[in-house]
Amino acid sequence: MFNYLRKRFTSHVRERSRRRARLVSKDGRCNIEFGNVEQSRFVFLIDIWTTILDLRWRYKMTIFISAFLGSWFLFGLLWYVVAYIHKDLPEFSPSINHTPCVENINGLTSAFLFSLETQVTIGYGFRCVTEQCATAIFLLIFQSILGVIINSFMCGAILAKISRSKNRAKTITFSKNAVISKRGGKLCLLIRVANLRKSLLIGSHIYGKLLKTTITPEGETIILDQVNIEFVVDAGNENLFFISPLTIYHIIDKNSPFFHMAAETILQQDFELVVFLDGTVEATSATCQVRTSYIPEEVLWGYRFAPIVSKTKEGKYRVDFQNFSKTVAVETPHCAFCLYNEKEAKAKEKKGYDNPGFVLSEVSEASDTKM
């Protein structure tokens, strides 16, 4: 019992460590942290547009509300100062013939309301600027221009945040696991990807990166060494007709990093397979990228994906997403090297080979025959 619990605890700790070491999550988020950045964080203000777009919604809405409330209150104070300097407030007891800079400003609250009406162009008509002082006219022009700038920037940031192609990527999904089985007589690593919308991704291109720790001949240890993984479908890996779920595959040949792995040793490997899908959104012409990752525990050796596309009696094609990540066990060589040797042996059986040790001995026949 103690040994069983210890094994369970060890496997749980190993699984947790693998999860913590994952660079890319299943939904495409990059789990990386930057530390000891020497440059000042004020450099992000240089690219303020990207900084605003990358903020979370709660921070963005806080900035949105604070920008408008702050500008209204600031100009409200300025309108109050103008009225105070010009002695338009009731506390100065202005005469009947006195013409104020702004009609009906009686205090800070009314100055704030006039600032709000000016910037959002409500225009109730109860409070208005007179031609008495140039300061009020200049302040009115300045607030109107600044209000348009704030409206354009903040509303544009909200619209850009909503329409980002990153949200379109949420409707592209990958299979939960990758599988390894024979396809077309070759050992392949297969992954299924689907577009949940009927609108296409134009010019789609799919590829992969294998992340692992390597040691160079010079003794340098590279933690996140990247190896290119070529994924293809039957029609190629570019300009995919991505209207129905596709099964992409990587051929495990001598040039593949999976060539020396076997069914018994793949769980002992330390790697992370990151898969990327780039394309252009048909509706907005904006480019987007979808990514996911697979660790050794998520690569199933000796399985293939269950069928997902069928044809109805009405002649329509139906996609059953219930079988999207469903796998079926199939007979598969336990390593790519074994499959390669098996093919080589069968090819030699079909050919004829001369035996250099074979010697033909001639037998002389008697010329006379006795009766």
CA atoms within a 13 Å half-sphere pointing along the CA-CB vector of 236 = 7
Query: What's the pLDDT at 360?
Result: 54
Residues with Cβ within 8 Å of 105's Cβ and at least 6 positions away in sequence, in order, are 79, 80, 83, 88, 89, 111, 114, 127
Query: What's the pLDDT at 371?
Result: 45
Query: What's the pLDDT at 354?
Result: 55
CA atoms within a 13 Å half-sphere pointing along the CA-CB vector of 333 = 20
- Domains annotated for the chain, with CATH where assigned, are 39-163 (1.10.287.70), 168-348 (2.60.40.1400)
Q: Which of 155, 135, 139 is nearest to 86 (CA)?
A: 135
Query: What's the pLDDT at 116?
Result: 93
Using CA atoms, how far apart are residues 10 and 14, in angstroms rounded to an integer?
Answer: 6
Query: Encoding tokens for residue 46?
Result: 């240089």
User: Mean pLDDT, consecutive 10-residue segments, the chain of 371 residues?
Assistant: 62 54 79 68 74 86 93 95 91 86 90 92 84 89 93 88 73 90 89 84 86 84 86 69 84 88 88 89 80 92 89 82 88 80 58 58 54 45
Query: What's the pLDDT at 335?
Result: 83
Query: What's the pLDDT at 38?
Result: 62
Query: What's the pLDDT at 361?
Result: 59
User: Which residue's entry shows tokens 């990207």?
Assistant: 50
